[in-house]
Amino acid sequence: MAKAAGMSTVNMPDDHLDQALARTLPVPILPAGFRVRLSAALARSAEVDIATRRLMLERERREQLAGLQTDSVRLRWQTLAYLIGGSFAAGATVAVGVPWLHEAFGADAIIAVPMIGTAAGLIIGAASYWRRFGAPRWLP
Amino acid sequence: MQQPGAAQAAQTDVRVLELLRDGKHAQAFDCVLDRYESKVYRLCCAVLRDQTLAQDTAQEALLRIWKALPRYDSRAALSTWIYAITRNRCFTAIERRRELQSLSDPAVELEAETATAVDARDPDDSLGLLRELVEALPERYRRVLTLYYYEERSVCETAELLGVPEGTVKTHLHRARSLLLEQLDRLGLKDVSLWLRRPA
């Protein structure tokens, strides 16, 4: 209320105060060299960014390498397991299959079946080679 | 009708967005600098009342803007986004300053200094006196009043810079003027010709 009473007693045209305030509060001008300093600060920040990015990439690479290493070890164990399993399976097949072939088809079957298997293996191998590397150079 | 400043700001927004979409961040930032650099500095000056600190804070704000520009998604107007970042940097700077001066309250100190200076003021130095009276205004009124004159008496620009409604700016301007007139009246300086006679 006191403020309101105070205001009501003032008898001063507002435009005069306005002009006085405009003189009192001049627009601050951007200091010379501001842009240069800003550019320098931006460059410094970019350097920091590059360093940060490098650290991130190095960490990422380390993680990738660790992942590859783990996968490789897992693959080696898997291969070993397949080899052992395959050998046992082959041994079992021979132990059971050869006497059965002998009884069912006679002595010639024992020779014929492995030959057919060998031929099939050679065909599959040759086809794979052809598909992957193309025709061998020594072929006409 | 759209004001020329607003139209220019809208054009800048569109241009910056186009450049960002094309991945030309440096050019987009140049565009931002051309349009907003001075405004950011003026906002810092008005809020911080210290030109050196305002320079540093404006630089920090523009650095933030540069880093965040690729993520600008145009949900808010570019000017609103830029002023919000600037205001946040200013408030951080105020906090930092307050921490440094934790033993004494700067507002109280400033008020005491102003009161002493006003009392000891040469009566002929009316503009200086008015400046000190402005400094002694409550912070929210002082900010609005200062920016209003920095922005060539544009209520709209002042409101946008401070992130407040135009009505609030008008109310604060009215109250600031009333307080100033009341103070001048109390000091017996009713003669306005005192201010207008002397060069700034």
Please report the pLDDT score of residue B64 as a whole number: 92
More confident residue, A139 or A108: A108
**What's the mean per-residue pLDDT of chain B?**
81
Q: Go through the domains of chain B in sequence order and give each one's CATH number.
A: 4-100 (1.10.1740.10), 106-197 (1.10.10.10)
| Whether the predicted pLDDT of B132 surpasses 50 | yes
Nearest-CA distance B131 → chain A (Å)? 6
Q: What is the DSSP string of B5-16?
A: HHHHHHHHHHHH
Chain B contact probe: residue of A8, A16, A25 with most B CBs at under 10 A? A25
C-beta atoms of B67 and A45 within 8 A:
yes
Please report the pLDDT score of residue A7 as a whole number: 34
What residue spans define the domains of chain A? 36-129
User: Which residues neighbour B75 within 8 Å (Cβ) at sequence distance 6 or greater?
Assistant: none
- Tell me if B42 sits within 8 A of B108, measured CB to CB: no
C-beta atoms of B185 and A10 within 8 A:
yes
Least confident residue range of A2-16, A95-109, A113-127, B136-150: A2-16
Per-residue pLDDT tens digits for A18-70? 888 888 888 899 888 888 888 888 888 877 777 777 777 888 888 889 888 88
How far the first Cα of chain B sits from its last, in Å, is 35
User: Which residues neighbour B154 within 8 Å (Cβ) at sequence distance 6 or greater?
Assistant: B3, B5, B148
- Tell me if B180 sits within 8 A of B133, measured CB to CB: yes
Least confident residue range of A122-131, B36-45, B175-184: B175-184
More confident residue, A17 or A77: A77
Please report the pLDDT score of residue B18 as a whole number: 87
- Tell me if A26 sits within 8 A of B200, measured CB to CB: yes
Distance CA A134, CA A137 (A): 9
C-beta atoms of B62 and A30 within 8 A:
no
Please report the pLDDT score of residue A98 as a whole number: 82
| Whether the predicted pLDDT of B176 surpasses 80 | yes
Per-residue pLDDT tens digits for B63-89? 999 988 888 888 888 889 999 999 999
C-beta atoms of A25 and B150 within 8 A:
yes
| Whether the predicted pLDDT of B111 surpasses 70 | no
Alpha-carbon Rg for chain B, nearest whole angstrom, is 19
- Tell me if B190 sits within 8 A of A12, measured CB to CB: yes
Chain B residue numbers touching A6 (CB-CB < 8 A): 182, 185-186
Distance CA B139, CA B118 (A): 18
The predicted complex's ipTM stands at 0.74
- Tell me if B57 sits within 8 A of B89, measured CB to CB: yes
Q: Which of B41, B130, B153 sits opposite A24 (nearest CB)?
A: B130
Three-state SS at B57: helix
With cut-offs at 50, 70 and 90, classify the pLDDT of residue B183: confident
| Whether the predicted pLDDT of B184 surpasses 80 | yes
| Whether the predicted pLDDT of A6 surpasses 50 | no
Chain A residue numbers touching B153 (CB-CB < 8 A): 18, 22
The DSSP code for B164 is S
Per-residue pLDDT tens digits for A113-132? 888 889 999 999 999 998 88
Chain B residue numbers touching A27 (CB-CB < 8 A): 42, 149-150, 152
Alpha-carbon Rg for chain A, nearest whole angstrom, is 45
Chain B residue numbers touching A10 (CB-CB < 8 A): 181-182, 184-185, 190
Q: Nearest to residue B54, comparing CAs of B64, B44, B42?
A: B44
Least confident residue range of A68-72, B6-10, B133-137: B6-10
